[in-house]
Structure 1
Amino acid sequence: MLENFSSSQIVRKTVVATKAGVVAAQHRRAAEVGAAVLDAGGDAVDAAIATSFAIGVVEPWMSGPAAGGTMVLWRAKEGKARVIDFGCRSPRELNPADYPLSGAGKSSDLFPWPAVVEDRNVMGATAVAVPGAVAGMDLAHKHFGRMPWKDLVTPAAKLADEGLLVDWYTTLVTAANARVLSKDPDTAKMFLDDGHWPIAGEWTSLAEKHLNQKAFAQTLLQIAEGGADAFYKGDIAEQLAKDVRAKGGCLSVQDLRDYQASIVEPLTINYRGGRVYATAGLTGGPTLGKALDILARELSPTKGKPNAATYAGYARALDAAFKLRFENMGDHESPKAPGSTTHFSVVDREGNMCAVTQTLLSIFGSRVVSPSTGMLLNNGIMWFDPEPGKPNSLAPNKRCLANYSPVIGEDAQGRRFAIGASGGRKILGAVMQLSSFMIDHGLNLEEAFHTPRIDVSGSGKITADQTLSAEIIAALEKEMPVIQTRRNIYPYSFACPAGVMRDGEMNMGCTEIMSPYGDAIAGG
């Protein structure tokens, strides 16, 4: 809802509580696919799997089968959280010597690593890592799913056969990246007109244009029929490895055959009489845990909207947590660069929950399309520091470090939520603040998502929502320099969250208020 007050605009998304399940995703059509699964009798995991494949079609620059990521899930009857890890890995044949430093300053993409010759770690087939998304969804289905696998993947294949509608937002995203998309002929063929200009829809007429995703649709049909084996051990693996190697990469059939997702214990963060279940290891979870630990010791929140002292506490906690992350994990992501992550959250009628983040890393990933499979590929190699001898240095067959941080949380009153976000390093601050808004301040989901946030990502300064009061801004300026900005549609100044909440038997969902297609859909 858009309300005009003189020269100001207030954007709101209304949250409606329901006893049905809810899927909250960055694209409404993907959320609708997940909600339809809930209607058909599926549980939260089934809906998450269907949403995962569907969102790779309608947000192809963000994720897809060639992505990596993680899922945090909650099983209501067991009262137990679990994590499914499906992060990317570097290929076994990768040779760090093939990524020599150019001496030309810093990389211009997500991570300000020392620049590599020809940006081989950033763009092109040499930047492609072993994907994990299909294996992660397969593992979730085998252990927790109810519905047939085919019924969960086929809707995405139908969306791809139809092709993504080219509208104003699709045109905006491709236009902003047209120069790099033109470097790969297959990518240019999919996203650009005449190999140079973004494909534009006829917005003033009834005519519609759709991206040609027919090859992708066939790949999804093969996955629907043959499961994860079709992707990692069948024809898709052969075609994918062949395409990547033909373009100069080192991904092999063996890399795909050997890949395994895993079920691991969550990082359990006890917080103010409640708890937050996060991802452990080389993710944003440990940094989130450190930030919440600092908040628990140093902040005494009051119910209602957070005040100046609260925001100053957020800034200190995030700054300290990121300093530890830089020292111990070798993460040096630029907080300004746009990532290509997507997040969605699901709750079903029984109270089962999923928080899922999956990513190609950069927007449009490696900017390479596999022509045989129709998939846009990740650039997971960029997660590694190209300088040797660092905590996160580039090496073969190595797990990628990532900033994603989906969580399942609950407050002292028993309200439970599943949240996460896209936005690179900005994710951590968003998840921490949203968790605090609900646990510390008692806000409901709608109130939390509409409350202004700050971002502190280790750069020594604070990015603050310009709608924050003068008192809050003054308190923040005592901590470190402040840059005031507004929430935008593109590019995002802050992370882009999606979440669901369960309060008693009532469920609700919400997405980033500035996300034009983000929506929460009820089903089941």
Structure 2
Amino acid sequence: MKYNVATSHPLSTMAGMEALERGGNAYDAMLASSSALVVVQPHFNGLGGDLFATIKDNGYYCINASGYAASAASIDFYSRNGYQEIPKRGSLSSFSIPGLVASWKIAAEKSTMGIGENFKRAIQFAKDGFEPSRKLVRAINRFEGGDEDFNNIYKGTDSWLVQKSLGNTLETLVTEGLDSFYNGNIADKIEADMKEKGGLITKKDLLDYKASITEPVKVNYRGYNVYTNPPVSQGLTASVWLRDLNAYDLAGMEHQEYYDTLIKTMHDAYNIRRKYVYDGVKLPENIDDMKPDNDQPGNQKSNLSDTTAYSIFDGEIEISAIQSNYMGFGSGHSIKGTGINMNNRGSYFSLDSENKNSLKPGKKTFHTLMSILASGKKDVILGTMGGDVQPQVNVQILSRVIDLGSNMPDAIAYPRFAYPASIYGDSKVYYESTLRLNHYEPVDDLNDMMGHAQGILIDSDSEAGVDPRGDGLLHYMKEKYFK
């Protein structure tokens, strides 16, 4: 295909493809797909979440739409209120300023169609409803951290999910402009709800927020330039890992040796992650000068992050993007009357003032979100959910494409391993049983621990791959929603 969209939900993919078919560019497809994902995958992302993207458009650039801690969020505040760690759910976990809508402002400036046209499907799915996937229904039934406003929207969902208040909020963004989220009617509702529920975000915090455009981290891997997000994103982890893998002839290795080599070099990359990925870091000018931190990690278990990644190609512009509310539905704190589910990304901060990722007002936490573009004999647009294992999923798929000559669908579907270690703790290495490895821990195939990846491979044509571990391959009749 001359253009392509790969997302983790078929309705979002259809919305993005429809934007391209109507003459829109990649930014239009991004807005259509991104807004649809907010509606159809609320257990992975939302208007109260954040976004990272890597984009090829007459050069390469990244978007960092992650939030910083609200002005009232501090170690002293939590210590005075008797907390040894930041809560994972509730209004005191939802103090990271939402950045997703700010990223839409950047995309909207480069799009060719109006916001109303690009949000049309998202508003339809929200107000008229849609058939939720089994994974979404299961996530709703298992989620216990929601406040009354959250539960009124989601609890009891079985065969059809309607989110009218979310649809109304999306319509407000169309009629009053995207700025209304940070300085308008929506911002007023967020501040009022925060005051009522004991939250920390004020309208001034929202007004001061801006998404940023940054230079990518770049590494050459076997003739491919691979671009990803700089810190606070953990994308750097994949870059230094690929740097080290250049020293090995992976294509000539037997199966076990191939995976032993990937895993051995991965550990050094994750030690570098712990040393260099935090807000305010000064990176060496040359990626080759980054050396691992050999301090032994602690024992705190990683929390798998539920996110949603998507890839877009319009024939020229390439976008790899990922958005999230962090853990499942995020904080479970839903802004009254809006359908906005707030993220709980701030709970990743440490309350240890000596830690590189310690909480401070205005600071951004270490971020698991990352996106990938690679350019060489072919181009690769790639992203995955999976929290701390995202670099592993991306590197394994890239290696299968670049080293082993795989096509995109097979590279994404192929069994994987995962090392779900946070910056605070260590982990075992797990693998999907069909991979048949020695030394490591087997788990069931098509395991959510291994992430849900989406990607596009571009040669003379474009080829999309969607992960069988997620919702992207569910069968939907187009006529049911797209008329």
Correspondence for 2:69? 90
8 Å contact kept, 2:43–2:136:
no
**C-alpha displacement of 1:335:** 6.4
Residue aligning to 1:416: 379
Residues 312-361 of structure 1: CA distance to partner in whole angstroms, max 9, x if unpaired? 1110111111122224447989665332211111111x232111111111
Task: Assess if the C-alpha contact under 8 Å between 1:167 and 1:200 holds in 2.
Answer: no
| In the alignment, structure 1 residue 487 sits paired with structure 2 residue 445 | yes
Structure having the higher strand fraction is 1
Query: CA-atom RMSD, angstroms?
Result: 2.4
For 1:163, which of 114, 118, 129 is the aligned residue?
A: 129
Distance between the aligned counterparts of 2:450 and 2:172, measured in 1?
37
Q: 1:169: how far off?
A: 3.2
Match of 2:293 in 1: none
TM-score normalised per structure 1: 0.82
- Residue in 1 that maps onto 2:139: 173
Alignment check: 8 A CA contact 1:240 1:372 kept: no
Offset of residue 101 of structure 1: 9.5
Within a 5 Å distance, the mapping from 1:492-507 to structure 2 comes to 492-504=448-460, 506-507=461-462
The residue number in structure 1 matching 2:285 is none
Q: 1:347 aligns with which of 313, 316, 332?
A: 313
Contact conserved, 1:52 with 1:64, CA < 8 A, in 2? no
Alignment of 1:449-460 (within 5 A): 449-458=412-421, 459-460=426-427
**Residue 349 of structure 2 corresponds to which residue in structure 1?**
384
2:395 to 432, 453, 470: 432
* Structure 1 counterpart of 2:224: 274
**Contact 2:380–2:457 (CA under 8 A) maintained in structure 1:** yes
Instruction: Give 1:210's aligned residue.
Output: 161
- Give the distance between the partners of 1:187 and 1:42, measured in 2 at CA: 34
Alignment match, 1:468: 435
AA of the residue aligned to 1:494: M
Deviations 1:21-57 (A, max 9, x none): 2111111111111111001111112101111111000
* Structure 2 residue 185 is the aligned partner of structure 1 residue 235: yes
Q: Distance in 1 between matches of 2:475 and 2:318?
A: 14
Deviation sequence 1:85-120 (CA, Å, 0-9, x none): 1111111122322223999xxxxxxxxxxxx45x75
AA aligned to 2:123 is A
Q: Does 1:407 align with 2:356?
A: no
Any conservation in 2 of the 1:49–1:137 contact (CA below 8 Å)?
Answer: yes
Match of 1:190 among 139, 142, 153: 153
Instruction: Measure how far apart 1:383 and its partner are.
Output: 2.2
Q: Note closer, same or farther for the CA distance 1:311–1:222 as it changes in structure 2 (3 Å cut).
A: same
Give, in whole Å, the separation in 2 of the partners of 1:420 and 1:333.
28
* Structure 1: 4+ residue segments shifted above 4 A: 330-336, 518-523
Answer yes or no: is the 8 Å Cα contact 1:31–1:520 preserved in 2. no
- 1:351-377 CA-to-partner distances (Å, cap 9, x unmatched) read 321111111111110011111312111
- Residues 369 and 377, structure 1, Cα contact 8 Å, conserved in 2: yes
Residue identity opposite 1:252 in structure 2: T
Which of 308, 322, 325 matches 1:357? 322
Match 1:510 to one of 459, 465, 468: 465
Gaps of 5+ in 1: 1-17, 104-115, 194-198, 202-208
SS at match of 1:260: coil
Question: 1:519, CA displacement in angstroms?
Answer: 6.8
- Gap change, CA 1:120 and 1:185, over 3 Å in 2: farther
Residue pair 1:101, 1:386 contacting (<8 A) in 2 also: no
Confirm or deny: 8 A CA contact 2:234 2:277 kept in the other structure. no
Distance 2:53 2:329 in 1: 22
1:262-411 equivalences in 2 (<5 Å): 262-297=212-247, 299-302=248-251, 307-329=255-277, 337-348=303-314, 350-411=315-376
Q: Per-residue deviation at 1:244?
A: 1.7
In 2: Cα distance, 1:98 partner to 1:397 partner: 14
Q: Deviations over 1:46-70 (max 9, x none)?
A: 1011111110000112112211121
SS at match of 2:326: strand
Distance across 1 between alignment mates of 2:356 and 2:135: 38
Q: CA deviation at 1:269?
A: 1.1
* 3-state SS, counterpart of residue 450 of structure 2: coil
User: Aligned runs of 1:10-89 on 2, under 5 Å?
Assistant: 18-19=1-2, 21-75=3-57, 78=58, 80-89=59-68
Larger mean Cα displacement after TM superposition, 402-411 or 163-172:
163-172
Distance 2:407 2:166 in 1: 39
The CA deviation string for residues 279-304 of structure 1, in whole angstroms up to 9 with x for no partner, is: 0121111111111111112x11227x
Q: Mean alpha-carbon deviation: is it higher for 34-43 or for 92-101?
A: 92-101
Cα shift at 1:164? 4.0
Cα distance, 1:426–1:102 mapped onto 2, change above 3 Å: farther
Contact kept, 8 Å, 2:309 with 2:320, in 1: the verdict is yes
Q: Structure 1 CA distance, aligned partners of 2:373 and 2:302?
A: 27
C-alpha separation in 2, matches of 1:223 and 1:375: 12
The question of whether the paired residues in 1 share the 8 Å contact of 2:40 and 2:132 is answered with no
- What is the DSSP-based 3-state SS (H/G/I as helix, E as strand, rest coil) of the residue aligned with 1:276? strand
Secondary structure of 2:68 counterpart: coil
C-alpha distance in 2 between matches for 1:93 and 1:493: 34
Secondary structure of 2:123's match? helix
Cα deviation 1:390-430 (Å, max 9, x = unaligned): 1000110112210112111123x2x1011011110111100
Match of 1:11 in 2: none
Change in 2 beyond 3 A, CA 1:329/1:281? closer
Partner in structure 2 of residue 5 of structure 1: none
Aligned with 1:228: secondary structure? coil
Q: 1:306 to 1:123 in 2, by over 3 A?
A: farther
Task: Measure, in 1, the Cα distance between the counterparts of 2:384 and 2:142.
Answer: 22
Query: Are the aligned partners of 2:322 and 2:369 in contact in 1 as well (CA < 8 Å)?
Result: yes
- The letter for the 2-side match of 1:300 is D
Paired residues in the alignment total 455
